[in-house]
Structure 1
Amino acid sequence: MSLFGKKLTPKEQMRQNDRALRKTERELDRDRRKLELEEKKLETEIRKNAKAGNKEACAVLAKQLVQLRKQKTRSYTAGTRIHAVSAQQKTMGANAKLAGAMATTTRTMGQMNRAVNPQQLAQTMRQFEQESAKMGMSEELVNDTLDDLLTESGDEEESDAVVNKVLDEIGIEISDKMRLAPSAERGAIGSKSSAVSDSDLERQLAQLKTS
Structure 2
Amino acid sequence: SRHLSLSHLPKKTSKSSRNIHRLSSDIRSKNMNIFAKKPTAKEALRESKRDMANATRGVEREITTLQLEEKKLVAEIKRTAKTGNEAATKILARQLVRLRQQIANLQGSRAQMRGVSIHTQAMAAQSSVGVGMKGASKAMAAMNKQMAPAKQAKVIQEFQKQSAQMDMTTEMMSDAIDDALDNDEAEEETEELTNQVLDEIGVDVASQLSAAPKGKIAGKKTEDVSSSNIDELEKRLAALRNP
In terms of fraction of residues, the more helix-rich structure is 2
**Aligned partner (choices 39, 46, 57) of residue 26 of structure 1:** 57
Unpaired runs of 5+ in structure 1?
169-211
Q: How do 1:7-156 and structure 2 match up within 5 A?
A: 7-151=38-182, 152=184, 153-156=186-189
The aligned counterpart of 2:22 is none
Taking a change above 3 Å as real, the CA distance of residues 39 and 140 of structure 1, as seen in their structure-2 partners, is same
User: Which residue identity does 2:36 align to in structure 1?
Assistant: G
Q: Distance in 2 between matches of 1:50 and 1:158?
A: 140
Cα displacement (A) at 1:158: 4.5
The aligned counterpart of 1:157 is 190
Q: How do 1:149-188 and structure 2 match up within 5 A?
A: 149-151=180-182, 152=184, 153-160=186-193, 164=196
User: Which residue identity does 1:131 align to in structure 2?
Assistant: Q
Cα displacement (A) at 1:45: 1.3
Structure with larger RCO (C-alpha < 8 A, sep 6+): 2
Cα displacement (A) at 1:8: 0.3
Superposed CA offset, 1:135-188 (max 9, x none): 1121122222233344525322345468x59xx8xxxxxxxxxxxxxxxxxxxx
Q: TM-score, normalised by structure 1?
A: 0.67
Q: Distance in 2 between matches of 1:150 and 1:139?
A: 16
- Between Structure 1 and Structure 2, whose CA radius of gyration is higher? 2
Taking a change above 3 Å as real, the CA distance of residues 150 and 58 of structure 1, as seen in their structure-2 partners, is same
- Secondary structure of the residue that 1:7 maps to in structure 2? coil
* Identical-residue share of aligned pairs (%): 33
RMSD (Å) for aligned C-alpha atoms = 2.6
Superposed CA offset, 1:37-76 (max 9, x none): 2211211111111112122332232122112101101111
Q: Distance in 2 between matches of 1:120 and 1:57?
A: 93
User: Which residue identity does 1:77 align to in structure 2?
Assistant: G
Unpaired runs of 5+ in structure 2?
1-32, 201-243
User: Which residue identity does 2:66 align to in structure 1?
Assistant: L
Number of equivalent positions? 163
Cα displacement (A) at 1:104: 2.0
User: Which residue identity does 1:38 align to in structure 2?
Assistant: E
